[in-house]
Structure 1
């Protein structure tokens, strides 16, 4: 006689999404925490919409969850630790599946376990398009959880993707250093570059992220999985646009100063620039700031002396 499933209330977003997947409705959730997800589910339940499935997830009334099914499908979080530490690696994994790639599967194992040996489409997951690195990691875990393949194949697949990422990570980061190395890049610049990239032919692979941080991570991944022969030339064009836009933004509030100097003075100036390894903008800025501080200190001392003299008693 088989054992009855023991009562259990889902205690993680990952587990909730796993149980929700078996429902054939059109529910899509955007809960960003376990508390928020449970509140959303409770609200749906109280409105008598999809009450059975919601009550099952919440573990209320007479419904229970058979956690053995969850434990038999989920692989340990440790296999996703590298994604948790590397948001770009997470986006790479996302685009790996978006672009139509598929990890190798040992079909003998899946046939033995009566599985189809298939990966579920990203577009069939219960979460809305993930925008943050945490949401994307949760969606990746959910995709692995609900795909109809053995846990051995799941572990093998995430290992394959990790090894591929480690192989291409450094050259890809170097190619997009103009975008990735600047932590303070304006959101407007990222959105502008995104528009230019799409217009120049970058494939979206149906990626629908709209937040600048998502697009910043997506562009290198779109480029990597793009098979176009001319993509290096297009990337060069995108880099040039980035430098021009960034230059315009950074110099938007700066003023131009023009000065005519004697040839011998110009020669001395050029020698100073070479010996100090700076450009004329930085050098003039330094001189102006230094001279201004010197004058300000002299004026302050003079004012103190005048103030002191005015307070002396008449003799």
Structure 2
């Protein structure tokens, strides 16, 4: 029989207290097939405010990507003044082509309403989209616009060079507009905004087929994050020829309605891969928790 001194017994007990939670990893929370409505983007608010002057705004180019089968270029129109200001309508965006300046059309959507109020350092993110696939893309020549300008409703012109708007398959269109605030350097403890997210997918997926993947919500803070009311999430999968999108409810009750402090919870997810063409090497997956973090990845097609 092995006896332990009191000090050694305390050390052993402390070690087990640390290792015990790690000994058995919790099984992922089962996927819940329950449709939900994502919150309407608050990008477009009609609150009164002084009109944004050209001197209040700065234009920068965001990332390039894909959205609902469109090849996209993001533009950020940020309020650099110290006061709130309002855009009475979406700005006009013009692209420089061989035949001169051409205005982008606007796709009628709920996200692009009439008035947008910007707080200091807040930005209107405008997504320009063009058709992502057509017969013309089989040829080596592409028509790409590198220079564009924005005409705010209050007057003036803001230029941006270095864009990449591929108009080979058709003209550019404003497909989305959202107000982007600056994320707090230290999100409120215990809020869904304080969570981080990691997406784990299969090595490959098959076009037109369904697959399962994992989403891990991690809480680096000292307070548990309540999942009540239960948030919804949005997942979007894009190829050049198709899009699948869904807004679903997270299985919060399966997770005990919270993410523990300094802990994590894994959730099973299920998605359908859109149809793809021979030119698609992968599918782009985007995942976003309402009021919380977002993540994305590209999964090779098998």
Question: What is the TM-score of this pair, normalised by structure 1?
Answer: 0.23
Relative contact order (alpha carbons < 8 A, sep ≥ 6): 1 or 2 greater?
Answer: 2
Question: What is the TM-score of this pair, normalised by structure 2?
Answer: 0.23
Higher gyration radius (CA) = 1
Whichever structure has more strand as a proportion of its residues is 2
